[in-house]
A and B are shown apart, each in its own frame.
Chain A
């Protein structure tokens, strides 16, 4: 009796629940609420949140915006862009990152504008000498996503595309450099 293949006997709803099972229900419920609370609270007190303004924008219009920004930016001897203000534009396209490489100042907050011209791409970033500090954001045509970022540590940061964007995706990479101000 009492197997999962049988119709339960009588008024099964009123059968008492084992004491330890009840305690576990309490623990599991509390843990569920706790991790919800942490995730939600972290948007207020935390420093790493995938949150920023988004705008709908035609992919061509976004490409022009990036072109205008590049026009305005200075270039270093190595051919890297120096952003004219706090805004940095990056456009994903098969198979490179338009707007990279760029030179940023350490400790300064930039608005990183992310968008794509053709298909979906993945903006995957890490400093060259510490691969475990890495983050990944989705990029797709039709949206411009403005995510503020502040890089404290100088160095070369590598960008890899981590969303499949067609044959050639393997070679879609770029970088930027963070320099002491």
Chain B
């Protein structure tokens, strides 16, 4: 055991504890690297647990299999949601902060004891949440699902340990803030590199989300403990969604930061315009939090003006920001590769890219699928009236698997594939499998997500239910018309889980049995002609490939927008 751990954490450092990364050229300190590994490995464990529950969840929703009865279904669904959406993502995000802060800046990780304490508290919180979900129904209560809506009979321990986890994440983020503070104190006029800037904005948004979460779960907790007599369902929803959606904003910003990072280190991307990309992050800072309101579009008690202003992030300030990144990131890749003379024509820069590298393909699939699938549908269902047709249907599940399960998960897999070579210094246990995984996952999960959306919008199949297609218990009615589509969805979901398992297998296999990479070996990751171009002004380089891709994106967006509104206006008259 000890040997295995030493083996995972055992790189050679100089007498000051630094080593030079053979790919990025960064000066990496032992303290940063080891903590990044600790959080990333914990994240993978959470993903594996949450992913295992995806089997029973998906196998129940495919009512042909009906794996679980109703009782167990909610418990399993809660386990899936908390382990994979919260624990997998948040542990990874702490790792992303440590990469985006001290690692890129070439500093030590300050307050390592605090970082470890944060990890311990997070793990304790996560174990507590798992325990209270697993035992909720035995003690006569209800499983919380992701949202733990009051006034359901959810164990107080659940709310308490959820708060504990959030506190732990705050503690774990402290060393990052101290890093930024030290960097700025040392040189107040220096500009932070773009990746650090992105990580910094991510961390601010994370703090806002966590405060909302502590308020929501704290409110429910004092009600469960009998300290207050009654609880207001509408108020809880507003507080809850500050964290419920806030964590998704952390996922988004962390993912975009990872996109800038990985397209650069394996694809040779440059920054198309510092001004434009940074302004987009600033727009997020101001507006993205308002978007949490899009979960309340069909709630009573909120004025239409309030809903429209907030769901649109104030006139779509944050959607605009995302469309800016949607251009800036591929444009950076196009410019960087054209500068090196890699690939001519409209798309030569893209077709000549290292598609066999799972780091590269994960990143690109993440960008494309997040944008086309998760992003567009998010804006659609966030329109107040369209939300009536999406709310709590299976299409919603399709939307957020498009964002987090396709987009963010693939980006983080890319980062892990990168870390296996650069931080763990191992070659992949199987290069062929490693190359295939992003393709398999993008295909199966992509198909599953599309099916979920059709099933939700065209057949009104609800989410969070174990029996509705073959039969609605106690009713002669059912949604059986949707059944044929489940013959595509069911297998696609199961194959997606299988690909997830394959990922874990290859990742763990590489860490344990992969060939050790020698000093200076880049493991084939570096882009052709090196990481740095010889300069010249980026803005003057052709970006017509990216421009074309963005126009295709816009055309898709407009078409889906029109289609959704067309469907809505078929419905009977509703509303004052």
Q: Which residues from chain A sit less than 8 Å from chain B, CB to CB? A: 1-8, 12-13, 15-18, 20-21, 23-25, 27-29, 31-33, 35-36, 38-40, 42-43, 46-54, 56, 109, 114, 118-120, 122, 124, 126, 128, 131-145, 147-153, 158, 160, 162-171, 173, 175
The one of A23, A50, A122, A128 that contacts B574, using a Cβ cutoff of 8 Å: A50
A39-B308, A43-B308 known; A133 vs B543 contact (CB < 8 Å): no
Q: What 0/1 pattern do residues 305 to 321 of B give for CB contact below 8 A with A?
A: 00010001001110110
CA of A143 to CA of B473 in the docked complex: distance in angstroms?
28
Q: Does B347 contact A (CB under 8 A)?
A: no
Pair B323/A138 contact, Cβ less than 8 Å: no
Q: Does B458 contact A (CB under 8 A)?
A: yes
Pair B482/A131 contact, Cβ less than 8 Å: yes
CA of A71 to CA of B453 in the docked complex: distance in angstroms?
42
CA of A126 to CA of B477 in the docked complex: distance in angstroms?
12
In the complex, the 5 A-B pairs of residues with the closest C-beta atoms, listed nearest first: A49-B575, A134-B460, A145-B300, A32-B316, A162-B462
Pair A50/B384 contact, Cβ less than 8 Å: yes
Pair A36/B316 contact, Cβ less than 8 Å: yes
Pair B323/A28 contact, Cβ less than 8 Å: yes
Beyond the given pairs A21-B276, A52-B300, A134-B393, 15 more chain A to chain B contacts, judged by CB atoms under 8 angstroms and listed by A's residue number, are A7-B193, A18-B331, A28-B324, A32-B316, A35-B312, A48-B573, A128-B477, A132-B457, A140-B300, A149-B572, A162-B391, A163-B149, A167-B70, A167-B142, A175-B477
B462 and chain A: residue at smallest CB distance: A162
Pair A54/B301 contact, Cβ less than 8 Å: yes
Q: Does B161 contact A (CB under 8 A)?
A: no
Q: Does B467 contact A (CB under 8 A)?
A: yes
Q: Which residues from chain B sit less than 8 Å from chain A, CB to CB? A: 24, 26, 70-71, 74, 104, 137, 142, 145, 149, 151-153, 190-195, 232-234, 237, 260-261, 264-265, 269-276, 296-301, 304, 308, 312, 315-317, 319-320, 323-324, 327-328, 331-332, 335-336, 379, 383-385, 387-393, 457-460, 462-468, 472-475, 477, 479, 481-482, 531-535, 537-541, 543-544, 546-547, 550, 554, 557-558, 561, 565, 567-576
A5-B104, A21-B328, A132-B460 known; A138 vs B575 contact (CB < 8 Å): no
Tell me if A's interface is mostly helix, strand, loop or mixed: mixed
Which residues of A sit under 8 angstroms from B271, Cβ to Cβ?
2-4, 8
18 A/B residue pairs, CB under 8 Å, sorted by A: A1-B270, A3-B270, A5-B24, A12-B274, A13-B275, A27-B554, A28-B324, A39-B312, A39-B384, A48-B388, A128-B477, A138-B296, A143-B234, A143-B301, A145-B300, A162-B464, A164-B464, A168-B70
The one of B191, B298, B547 that contacts A24, using a Cβ cutoff of 8 Å: B547
CA of A25 to CA of B276 in the docked complex: distance in angstroms?
9
B544 and chain A: residue at smallest CB distance: A20
CA of A154 to CA of B479 in the docked complex: distance in angstroms?
20
Counting chain A CB atoms within 10 Å of each CB, which of B26, B270, B392 scores highest? B392
Pair B572/A166 contact, Cβ less than 8 Å: no
A140 and chain B: residue at smallest CB distance: B233
B548 and chain A: residue at smallest CB distance: A20
Query: Shortest distance in angstroms between B16's beta carbon and chain A's nearest beta carbon?
Result: 21
A8-B274, A21-B543 known; A142 vs B234 contact (CB < 8 Å): yes
Pair A39/B383 contact, Cβ less than 8 Å: yes
Pair A141/B233 contact, Cβ less than 8 Å: yes
Pair A52/B477 contact, Cβ less than 8 Å: no
Which residues of B sit under 8 angstroms from A168, Cβ to Cβ?
70
Pair B384/A15 contact, Cβ less than 8 Å: no
CA of A171 to CA of B539 in the docked complex: distance in angstroms?
60
Query: Shortest distance in angstroms between A19's beta carbon and chain B's nearest beta carbon?
Result: 8
Pair B383/A35 contact, Cβ less than 8 Å: yes
Which residues of A sit under 8 angstroms from B192, Cβ to Cβ?
7
Pair B467/A149 contact, Cβ less than 8 Å: no
Pair A142/B261 contact, Cβ less than 8 Å: no
Which residues of A sit under 8 angstroms from B70, Cβ to Cβ?
167-170
Query: Shortest distance in angstroms between B48's beta carbon and chain A's nearest beta carbon?
Result: 26
Pair A32/B320 contact, Cβ less than 8 Å: yes
Which residues of A sit under 8 angstroms from B331, Cβ to Cβ?
18, 20-21
